[in-house]
Structures are given as structure tokens and as C-alpha cells.
Amino acid sequence: MSRFPGVDLLELDALLTEEERLVRDTVRAFVDDKVKPIIEECHREARTPLELVPEMGALNLFGASLSEYGLPGLGGVAYGLIMQELERGDSGLRSFVSVQSSLVMYPIHTFGSQEQKDRWIPRLASGEAIGCFGLTEPDFGSNPGGMRTTARQTSDGWVLNGSKQWITNGTLADVAVVWAKTEEGVRGFLVEKGTPGFTSSDQHGKFSLRASTTSELGFHDCRVPADAILPGSTGLKSPLMCLNQARYGIAWGGIGSAMETYYTALEYAKQRVQFNGQPIACHQLVQEKLAWMATEISKAQLLAYQLGKLKDSGRLKHWQISMGKRNNIWLARECARMAREILGANGIVDDYPVIRHMLNIESVYTYEGTHDIHGLIIGEAITGIPAFNAPERPAAKKKEAEQPVAAGSAR
Ligand code: TGC
Ligand code: FAD
């Protein structure tokens, strides 16, 4: 299997530290050697490549930006480069690591008790345990604040009722981080696999992220002990803090997906001959597409790098992350489409990675806040006006035409 040489038209490698390059190259080799040989088959079979989990654990890919428990505490750029390389392999694989790291280990690390951390962080870090994050509900996706799942306190614990939908790794998870409404607002709970009243089932028929498991969770008078609550979680702000971590990684992941489709299209265009005995790369229309992709990838790299620097200096704001997630996933989506065009009919078969990336990126465009929701988050930051809620619809006036027609009228 040939090694991916990278896409570095602005010589940004020179900005990376030795450690950052080492981390990137290690994950790059893992993806080339272990992920690429099996990923098309996983996509066809709609199967999560669980056989890769122990090695990802051994490579410290889970919770890589956290410290304690022997975790590496990597800086923002090194962490981002991990996400970039994983998503070059497959968005589903990056999702697996994002959920485990940002949406399960991060909330336990940040809001959990000492006992919760001791019980779960080491097992999640090694991949011995898998976690999931339940925020979205069937009727509440972009607006999680409207959630209906409740947690009622009893003399010896909590009773959860409700359902969650579109939950990555839901049926695989040993522990679910579940967000529910209590009398004092939204709080996080750790619900372990096998808890009576807790059910999970996979969602089928997906044409996107097929190498990832997506599930529904149900809570029917699900009783959890008093110490299942994440004691430091306080309101909707807590799950949104987790999303900041995941969205930051996704901003880097988009670059990986775009690099893979661009590089595939470039190599293809250099060898595919049509009309004049020359490769299609000699045509201006093809070159324009490749030039667009290369330029947008370079801009995305600069954006992600600056987000990393802001993160490490403690200045990164949530709306800046929205800029990165929104722009870099949009560009990955455009690159996938352009690459598919350049590959012609070969663009629709899985002999090449392009169609898989093109299908995958539709999920990434929607999850962790849709493209448009991130537009509104940026819009609120720059105007000071939140535009999430449309104004109340005025009560419809009874139209004259709806009045009964008087007998004997001209009609
Ligand atoms: P709003 O009233 O604006 O905010 C409630 C409280 O939260 C604070 N806040 C944030 N805090 C930290 N980070 C952020 N990004 C924050 N955004 C808001 C805010 O200051 C407030 O704090 P306080 O102290 O005043 O209470 O909330 P809202 O109900 O109006 O909603 C705002 C909105 C629409 C931006 C938010 O709900 C949103 O982001 N919606 C998108 C939902 C979403 O992204 N869901 C993702 C589910 S997980 C997933 O998709 C995993 S995919 C698998 C993978 O990652 O690979
Ligand atoms: P909706 O919120 O119904 O939005 C539909 C459309 O309306 C979108 O285009 C949206 O932009 C637009 N819209 C909505 N509100 C507004 C507004 N105010 N202004 C303008 N436009 C608006 N969730 C989890 O909690 N955990 C997970 O692990 C997880 N994994 C996922 C995995 C996959 C493969 C997918 C596809 C989703 C996953 N999700 C997960 C759910 C994901 O976060 C939601 O799908 C996402 O937040 C969007 O919600 P929705 O699908 O209900 O769309």
C-alpha cells in the first residue's frame, strides 16, 4: 500500500513542532497500513472496525488531549492532526475517536467525581470500554434545549425516562453519557450497559458513515444510583462544552477527508487518458478544479492551525470553532464532489475512496451542529443578535373567502 505524501502547498509543515510531526506521521502510517486495507469492506458491510480499537488505544488516540491517568495531554495542533489523519481514513473512524475522547472521556474528566474518573478513564483510554453520548432526541436535534428526557430524583437515586436518537456507538457502548432534564436543569448521567430499563437498538438503512454504528437509546423507568450523576454538570452549557471539543477536532478532520479526495483526483487525472493521448490533467477545466481544491485545503489548514494556537493559549471561543467546523466540512464536501466528477464513472465505485468520503461527509455536515446552525452561531457572535428562534407565527386571520356564501348571491 503506497504511503500518502501529504498536501502542503504553503509549507505549513515548517510550523509544526517535532512532536506534532511525529504524532501526525504515526497516525498517518496507522491509517495507510491498518485502516485503508479494510475500510471499503467495512463500509460495504456497514460494520464498525472494532478490531482497530485496541491498537488505537495503544497509540494513545483516545483522550489524547487530556492529562492524568497516563494520558498524553497533547496540545491542540497535535490533537487536531490525529483527527485529520483518522478522517483521511474514514469519517466514521474519526467519529469513533471523537465520541470516545471529546464526548465521553472529556465530560467524565471535567464533570465527573473521582470515583467515576477512576472507574472509566483508564478503560476508555485503552479501548477496553466504549462510550457514547446521548444528547439528540427524535424531536430535538438542532435545539437540544427542548429535550424531553427527564431524570427524577428518588430517595436512593434517579429515574430516567425518554429516548435519544442518532447516537454514535449506542449499541456498542459500555457506558452512555446521557443528558436529561432535572428540576435544576439539564444534567449528565452515566448509564451503564445492562441497566434495567435502558435499551438500545441500531438504526439501519444509512448510506453515510456505514463504517460507524448509529443507534437509538430508550429509558423506561430506568433506575440509576445516586452516584450516576456527573456532579460537575450544570445546565445545557455542559453538553455544549463537550461539543466544543468535538467540533474542534472535526474542523481538522474535514481537512483529512478533503486531502484524500483531492489526492485521489490528482493522481487519477495524471494517469487517465482521453481524446488526445494526453492525461485529463492537461485540460484547463480539470486543472481549475484541482487548483480550487488545493487552495481551499491550504486555507483550511491555516484556519485549523490558528484555532489550535488559540486553543493552547486558552483564548479559543466557541464561535471560532464554529467557523472551523462550518468552513472545513463545507470544503470537504465540495472537494468530494469535484473529485467524483474528475473520476468520471470510477467516481461512483468503491475501488476508489471518493464516493465513500462523499457519502460520509453528508453526516458530518449535519452532526455536531448543522452547517446553518454554525452560521447562526457565528452570526450571533458578530451581530449580538441570536437568530435561532423564528418570531411567533401570528394567528391566522379568517379569510373572507372562507365565509359562507349568502344564498342567492351573485356567485
Ligand atoms: P443558549 O441559550 O444559547 O445557551 C445555553 C447555555 O450554554 C452556553 N453556551 C455554550 N457554552 C459552551 N459552549 C458553547 N458552544 C455554548 N453555546 C452556548 C450559553 O452561554 C448558555 O449559558 P448560561 O450560563 O447562560 O446557561 O442555548 P440554545 O438553547 O439557544 O441553543 C444554542 C445552540 C442552537 C447554538 C445549541 O443548542 C447548538 O449548538 N445546537 C446544535 C446541536 C448539536 O450540535 N448537537 C450535536 C449532538 S452530538 C453529535 O452530533 C455527535 S456526532 C458524532 C461525532 O462527533 O463524531
Ligand atoms: P434538525 O434540527 O431537524 O434540522 C433540519 C434542518 O433544519 C437542518 O438543515 C437545519 O440546519 C435546519 N434548521 C434547524 N433549526 C434551524 C434554525 N433555527 N434556523 C435555520 N435552520 C434551522 N447526536 C448525539 O447526541 N450523539 C451522537 O453520537 C450523534 N451521532 C450522530 C451520528 C450521525 C451519523 C448523525 C447523522 C447524527 C448524529 N447525531 C448525534 C445527531 C446530530 O447531532 C443531529 O442530527 C444534528 O444536531 C441535527 O439535528 P436533526 O437531524 O434533528 O436536524
pLDDT at 395: 65
Q: Are 368 and 252 in contact (CB under 8 A)?
A: no
E-strand spans in 36-192? Answer: 131-134, 150-153, 157-168, 175-182, 185-192
Active site members: 368
pLDDT at 276: 86
Residues 6+ apart with CB under 8 A from 256: 83, 84, 85, 86, 87, 88, 89, 94
pLDDT at 55: 98
- pTM (two decimals): 0.95
Nearest protein Cα to ligand 2, atom 23: 136
Q: Are 181 and 147 in contact (CB under 8 A)?
A: yes
Q: Are 155 and 87 in contact (CB under 8 A)?
A: no
Give the three cell numbers for residue 115: 470515583
Question: What atom of ligand 1 comes closest to residue 242's alpha carbon?
Answer: 13
CA angle 89, 91, 96 (to 5 degrees): 100
Which amino acid does the sequence have at 314?
G
Could you give the CA distance from residue 315 to residue 183 in angstroms, rounded to a whole number? 33
Estimate to the nearest angstrom the gap between the alpha carbon of 325 and the chain centroid. 9
Could you give the CA distance from residue 206 to residue 136 in angstroms, rounded to a whole number? 17
Domain boundaries, the chain: 12-126, 131-233, 238-383
pLDDT at 410: 43
Q: Are 254 and 331 in contact (CB under 8 A)?
A: yes
Query: Considering the domain 238-383 in this protein, what is its CATH number?
Result: 1.20.140.10
pLDDT at 315: 98
CB 163 less than 6 A from any atom of ligand 2: no
CB 133 less than 6 A from any atom of ligand 2: yes
Give the three cell numbers for residue 59: 497509540
Q: Which ligand is closest in space to the CA of residue 360?
A: 2
Fold topology of 12-126: Butyryl-Coa Dehydrogenase, subunit A; domain 1 (1.10.540)
Could you give the CA distance from residue 45 to residue 338 in angstroms, rounded to a whole number? 26
Q: Which ligand is closest in space to the CA of residue 95?
A: 1
CB 214 less than 6 A from any atom of ligand 2: yes
CATH number, domain 131-233, options 2.170.190.11, 2.40.110.10, 3.20.20.60, 1.10.1370.30:
2.40.110.10
Pocket of ligand 1 (CB under 6 A): 95, 98-99, 133, 135-136, 142, 144-145, 168, 235-237, 240-241, 243-244, 246, 318, 367-369, 373, 377, 388
pLDDT at 399: 53
Nearest protein Cα to ligand 2, atom 49: 141
Along the 411 residues of the chain, how does pLDDT read in single tens digits? 568 999 999 999 999 999 999 999 999 999 999 999 999 999 999 999 999 999 999 999 999 999 999 999 999 999 999 999 999 999 999 999 999 999 999 999 999 999 999 999 999 999 999 999 999 999 999 999 999 999 999 999 999 999 999 999 999 999 999 999 999 999 999 999 999 999 999 999 999 999 999 999 999 999 999 999 999 999 999 999 999 999 999 999 999 999 999 999 999 999 999 998 999 999 999 999 999 999 999 999 999 999 999 999 999 999 999 999 999 999 999 999 999 999 999 999 999 999 999 999 999 999 999 999 999 999 999 999 999 987 777 665 555 545 555 444 443
Nearest protein Cα to ligand 1, atom 12: 241
Question: What atom of ligand 1 comes closest to residue 94's alpha carbon?
Answer: 56
- Cell numbers 463504517 label which residue? 211
Question: What atom of ligand 2 comes closest to residue 135's alpha carbon?
Answer: 25
Residues 6+ apart with CB under 8 A from 106: 63, 66, 242, 245
